[in-house]
């Protein structure tokens, strides 16, 4: 009998799926259950019914899997940040590699054996160099509070991370083990300061309030530590007082900035920015190069692991003999500069103006003269006119966002007469979608998974393509 929405069912979890959900089978229908591990016997409630699968909520673990471990963080079963703290890291890696293989076979229709053994991370915790916390006027209730018969008020000043699938409610964090512990300590201090001084959190529905986000960036190879206070209003007196208290409490801070986002969108990127203290940026290293990183510029979140990722990309690019390299979606130029010592010329394209500004600065600061960075939207910029103006490449590296490349860019790459193409991806499913098209022009030789985010389901991969 087909499972209906709202029905409760006993399930044996057999494997994991992308996004970290456990997978069970019931009368041949796949049922996805978050928060479970292979081997778990669970009781779950069906929350979504589709023709070929069901989604369910975990109600109770009847018999725990022998694979299960105790999560380090008390929020692990509720927070959407760490989906796999209940699995040993070795099992996380095993599942991530299998997910890449599944995408390559199922979506790209390629031989899964081209996927190489995954490169794991040396640090399972405290590996992130950036955390973005949010503030709100509504908090996420605990399981106990949700199950009470009486009404529980959820209106309160909350600081932490968005509850999974909710833009309006915040899980009040008491701890976090992904970034240097000073990160959570500053969140706790800021939350208490705002409550004590009647500084309101931003209300998403009323579009009023003051504090919106706290973004902490720290450098792995230097002592730089940035605090980015994102506010709805521009009140320099209030921000100045809070900043002074932060500097007294946390003398490690090297710069404080205030991004003012007075728009309804939920982003931590302000419409404009004030530098409150210090230079307004931090400096970190990848390989032999130093990088200037502003509050809103993209930089690989796991600095040490980024070196492994880039080393694979450089190996696949095979530019030891020189040549012209294109770096699409180049960000602040980290990969461009990492490749520059092996290439005759590197041309990067990026849509974020502050990232291009940082990339040019980074090239100058590192004395790299054979790179050129172009500001523009990839689908509009990367065209025949661009090739005429900048010359044709010997190798192209593309590192697009999670959504993958725009179809126009994929089409341009498919028609480009280039010897080697290296695809760096933070989403193997969209990479596989693009490879399905690119394989008509190129041979997909290898795909190398690289784990940048332990405790989560996220996985990066690098694909090596050569011209047929």
CA distances to 32, 89, 111, 394, 435 from 67, in Å: 18, 11, 29, 47, 34
Q: What is the pLDDT of residue 181?
A: 96
- Residue 198, token pair as written in the block: 């009647």
- Residue 385, token pair as written in the block: 């006119």
Alpha carbon distance 287, 448 (integer Å): 20
Burial bucket for residue 403 (CB in 10 Å: 0-12, 13-18, 19+): exposed
Burial bucket for residue 77 (CB in 10 Å: 0-12, 13-18, 19+): middle
Cβ atoms < 10 Å from Cβ of 19? 13
Task: Please say whether the beta carbons of 154 and 224 come within 8 A.
Answer: no
DSSP letters, 204-273, are TTTTB-SEEEEEEEE-SSS--EEEEEEESS--HHHHHHHHHHHHHH-TT--EEEEEE--SSS--S--SEE
> In the chain, what are the domains?
8-68 (2.40.50.140), 94-124+287-467 (3.40.50.150), 130-282 (2.40.50.1070)
Beta strands 53-63 and 41-49, pairing class: antiparallel
Q: What is the pLDDT of residue 66?
A: 96
DSSP β-bridge partners for residue 260 = 231, 272
Task: Please say whether the beta carbons of 423 and 462 come within 8 A.
Answer: yes
Alpha carbon distance 306, 312 (integer Å): 10
Active site residues: 426
Q: What are the b/e assignments for 348-373, b being 16+ CB within 10 Å?
A: bbbbbebbbbbbbbbbeebebebbeb
Q: What is the pLDDT of residue 77?
A: 80
Q: Indicate the DSSP class of residue 316.
A: H
Q: What is the pLDDT of residue 330?
A: 92
DSSP β-bridge partners for residue 450 = 119, 460
Task: Please say whether the beta carbons of 14 and 38 come within 8 A.
Answer: yes
Alpha carbon distance 116, 113 (integer Å): 7
- Residue segments in the chain with a per-residue pLDDT below the cut of 50: none
Three state DSSP letters for 152-221: CCCEEEEEEEECCCCCCCEEECCCCCCECCHHHHHHHHHHHHHHHCCCCECECCCCECCEEEEEEEECCC
Closest CA to 459 of 160, 39, 134, 115: 115
Task: Please say whether the beta carbons of 229 and 258 come within 8 A.
Answer: yes
Reported residue count of the chain is 468
Residue 153, Cα to own-chain centre: how many angstroms? 32
Question: How many helices (H) and strands (E) in the chain?
Answer: 11, 21
DSSP letters, 399-442, are ---TT---HHHHHHHHT---SEEEEEES-HHHHHHHHHHHTTTE
Closest CA to 330 of 312, 353, 311, 308: 353
Q: What is the largest CA-CA distance in the chain?
A: 72
Alpha carbon distance 106, 362 (integer Å): 40
Cβ atoms < 10 Å from Cβ of 50? 10
pTM for the full predicted model: 0.88
Alpha carbon distance 183, 176 (integer Å): 8
Q: What is the pLDDT of residue 116?
A: 98
């Amino acid at each position: 009998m087909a499972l209906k929405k709202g029905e409760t069912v006993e399930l044996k979890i057999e494997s994991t799926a992308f996004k970290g959900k456990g997978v069970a089978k019931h009368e041949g229908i796949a049922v996805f259950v978050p928060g479970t591990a292979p081997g778990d016997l669970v009781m779950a409630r069906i929350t979504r019914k589709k023709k070929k699968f069901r989604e369910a909520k975990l109600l109770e673990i009847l018999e725990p899997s022998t694979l299960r471990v105790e999560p380090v963080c008390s929020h692990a079963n509720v927070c959407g940040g760490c989906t796999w703290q209940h699995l040993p890291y070795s099992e996380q890696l095993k599942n991530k590699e299998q997910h890449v293989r599944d995408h390559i076979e199922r979506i790209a229709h390629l031989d899964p054996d081209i996927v190489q053994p995954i490169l794991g991370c040396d640090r399972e915790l405290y590996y992130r160099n950036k955390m973005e916390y949010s503030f709100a006027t509504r908090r996420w209730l605990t399981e106990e509070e949700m199950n009470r018969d009486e009404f529980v008020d959820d209106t309160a000043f909350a600081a932490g991370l968005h509850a999974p699938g909710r833009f309006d409610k915040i899980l009040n964090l008491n701890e976090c083990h992904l970034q240097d512990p000073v990160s959570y300590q500053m969140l706790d201090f800021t939350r208490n300061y705002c409550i004590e001084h009647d500084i309101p959190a931003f209300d998403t529905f009323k579009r009023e309030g003051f504090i919106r986000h706290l973004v902490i960036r720290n450098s792995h190879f230097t002592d730089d530590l940035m605090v980015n206070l994102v506010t709805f209003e521009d009140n320099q007196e209030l921000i100045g007082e809070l900043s002074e208290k932060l500097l007294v409490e946390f003398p490690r801070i090297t710069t404080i900035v205030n991004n003012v986002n007075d728009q309804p969108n939920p982003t931590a990127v302000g419409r404009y920015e004030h530098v409150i203290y210090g230079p307004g940026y931090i400096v970190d290293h990848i390989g032999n190069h130093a990088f200037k990183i502003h509050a809103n510029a993209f930089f690989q979140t796991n600095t040490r692991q980024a070196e492994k990722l880039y080393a694979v990309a450089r190996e696949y690019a095979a530019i030891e003999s020189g040549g012209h390299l294109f770096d699409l979606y180049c960000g602040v130029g980290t990969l461009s500069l990492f490749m520059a010592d092996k290439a005759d010329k590197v041309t990067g394209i990026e849509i974020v103006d502050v990232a291009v500004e940082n990339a040019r600065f980074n090239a100058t600061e590192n004395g790299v003269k054979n790179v050129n960075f172009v500001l523009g939207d990839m689908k509009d910029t990367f065209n025949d006119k661009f090739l005429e103006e900048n010359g044709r490449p010997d190798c192209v590296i593309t590192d697009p966002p999670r959504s993958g490349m725009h179809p126009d860019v994929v089409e341009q790459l498919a028609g480009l007469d280039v010897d080697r193409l290296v695809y760096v991806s933070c989403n193997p499913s969209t990479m596989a979608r693009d490879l399905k098209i690119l394989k008509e022009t190129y041979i997909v030789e290898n795909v190398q998974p690289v784990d940048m985010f332990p405790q989560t389901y996220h996985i990066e991969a690098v694909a090596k393509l050569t011209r047929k």
